[in-house]
Amino acid sequence: MPAASASASASAHEHEASRRQAARQETRQLARQEAARLTAESVHGVALTWVDNAGLTRVKAVPVGRLTHAATRGVGMSPVFDVYLVDDSITTSRHIGGPGGDLRLVPDLERLTVLAGQPGWAWAPVDRYDQEGQPYAACQRLFARRMARLAAERGIELRMGFETEWIVQREGAYPWAGPAYGMARVVELSDYVNEVLRTLGAQGVEVLQIHPEYAVGQFEVSVAPSDPVGAADLAVLVRETVRAVSLRHGLTALFGPAVEAAGVGNGGHLHLSLWRDGQNLCRAGDGPFGMSADSEAFLAGVLDALPALLAVGAPSPASYLRLEPSRWAGAFQCWGLENREAALRFITGAPDDPDGANAEVKCFDAAANPYLVTGAVIAAGLAGLEAGAGLPAPVRGDPALTGPRDAGAEAGSGAPDVGGPPRLPRSLPEALAHFERSDVLREALGEALFEAIAAVRRAESELFAGRAPQAIADATRGRY
C-alpha cells in the first residue's frame, strides 16, 4: 500500500475510534442520569426485551445499578434464539443455529419506560450487536429501522400503529358473556378496563380507543401512530402492560391468533400512512379516493406482496384458524374503501381531517413479530413505489360472495366488481412457499434473517402437522 493511502487509512481508523469513544461517553452519561431517575422512582430492575422470529417477547433483566454497563457494553445473549419455536424447541438454519456464539443486547434509552403495571420495574427494547459492536445481521429491530431509513431516503415518512386484541379468562373460563361490542362487558370489567387505561397513560402511551370485541371476553386497544420502530416498540409495551394489569386482576390475557378454533381469534392489524413535508400522501392526490401516486404505488406493492407477507404477519399454524372468510379477518387478496373484509382496508377519514387517512392491513395477527411486520411492509411498499405500481379495482362487499371480476374496471371508479379476488394462503406452508419465492423480502431482510424466519416457519409447520384445530389453538393461545 502506498504511504499516502496507508496514512489516510490510519487517519480514518483513528477518526472512527474517536467517534465511537465520544458516542460511548455520551451514552454512559445518559445511562447514569436515567439510572439515577429510576432509583429516585424506586425502580430496581430493568427488563430488556426483543422479539424472536416465532413472535415471542424474550427478556434479560438487569438491576438499575447495571444499566450503565448494559447501555455501553450490552448484555450477552445467544443468537440461537432466532431459531427458537413457539414451544421453546430449537431448529436451525443455514446461517444461525447451535450453541456457539454470543450477541450484545443494547437497550435503547430513548424508549426507557417506568412500568406502571409492574411496580419496581422499568422496560427498554434492545438492538442487538455482535461482540465487535457491529449491527447483528438478524436483528429484527435494526431491520425495521433500516427499512424506515430507506423510505426516508425516498422522502417518505411512515406513521404506523398496531391494534392489540386479547381475550381474558379467569381460571380457564369466560365468565363475561356480554354481547360483542356491548356496554355490558365494559360494566362487568369496568375496574379492569379502567386500570388498563390508567396504566398505559401513566407510561406515556396515548390511547385512541378501547372496546370489547367480537369474541367472549375479548378487548381491543388502539394507540396513537408512531414511526415504524416506535410502533413496534409500543406493540410490545402495550401487550406486556395488558398482561401485567390482567394478572393483578386475577385474569389471564390470551393474545394467540386462535383461542377457540372455531372463534374469530385475535388480530394484530397494522395501520399506516405515508407523509412528505407534513402532508399525508393518503389524501394528497387524484388517485383512488384521493391518494397521491406515491401512496397508491406503495399500497399496491403491499397488496401484491400479501401472500408472502403472511409468513411474517400471520406466522403461526394457528393464524390460519383465524384467517377465514366473512370474519373481518381479511382472507382475500384485495383492497377496498372501509371494507372490513378486505385484507387491505383504505380509510379516507373525515372530509375535514386529511390527517386521518390511512390504510389498514387486516390479515396480520398477534403471533407476529411487530418489527418484522413494519420492516417487511415497508420493503413491499418501496418495491411497489419503485415499480410505479397501481391498485386494481377496489372490492365492495364481502369478497367471499363476489362473482368473476371485470378486469377492465378502473381503480377508484366505483364500478362494481364482477370477479372474486384470490384467497390468501390457507396454511402456513402455503404462505412460506410465497415467502421463499419473494426476492423483495429476501433482499430486504438479508440472507441470515430471511433464512432464520423460513426455518422457524418450516419447523412450526412440522411441529403442528396433523394436529386437530383445537389442539393447535390450545398449544399456542397463551404463548404470545
| Claim to verify: residue 378 and residue 453 sit in the same structural domain | yes
205 found inside a domain: no
Structure confidence at residue 171 (pLDDT): 87
Structure confidence at residue 24 (pLDDT): 82
pLDDT digits (tens, 9 = 90+) for 345-362: 999 988 888 889 999 999
207-212 and 218-223 beta bridge pairing: antiparallel
| Claim to verify: residue 276 and residue 324 sit in the same structural domain | yes
314 found inside a domain: yes
Range of the domain at 51: 35-136
Q: How many domains, in total, are found in the chain?
A: 2
54 found inside a domain: yes
| Claim to verify: residue 41 and residue 159 sit in the same structural domain | no
CATH number at residue 75: 3.10.20.70
| pTM over 0.85, yes/no | yes
Categorize the per-residue pLDDT at 1 as very low, low, confident or very high, splitting at 50, 70 and 90.
low
Strands (E), 69-187: 75-77, 103-107, 113-114, 121-129, 157-169
| Claim to verify: residue 72 and residue 124 sit in the same structural domain | yes
Among residues 168, 366, 172, which one has the least CA distance to residue 258?
366
408 found inside a domain: yes
| Claim to verify: residue 59 and residue 158 sit in the same structural domain | no
| Claim to verify: residue 120 and residue 160 sit in the same structural domain | no
Cβ(293)–Cβ(299) below 8 Å: no
pLDDT digits (tens, 9 = 90+) for 271-319: 999 999 999 999 989 999 999 999 999 999 999 999 999 999 999 999 9
Q: Is the pLDDT of residue 136 over 90?
A: yes
1 found inside a domain: no
Average pLDDT of the segment spanning 228-240: 98
Structure confidence at residue 417 (pLDDT): 40
Tell me if residue 287 falls in helix, strand or coil: coil
| Claim to verify: residue 85 and residue 149 sit in the same structural domain | no
| Claim to verify: residue 324 and residue 410 sit in the same structural domain | yes
Cβ(156)–Cβ(276) below 8 Å: yes
Percentage of the chain exceeding pLDDT 70: 92
Mean pLDDT value across the chain: 93
Structure confidence at residue 178 (pLDDT): 78
Q: Is the pLDDT of residue 46 over 90?
A: yes
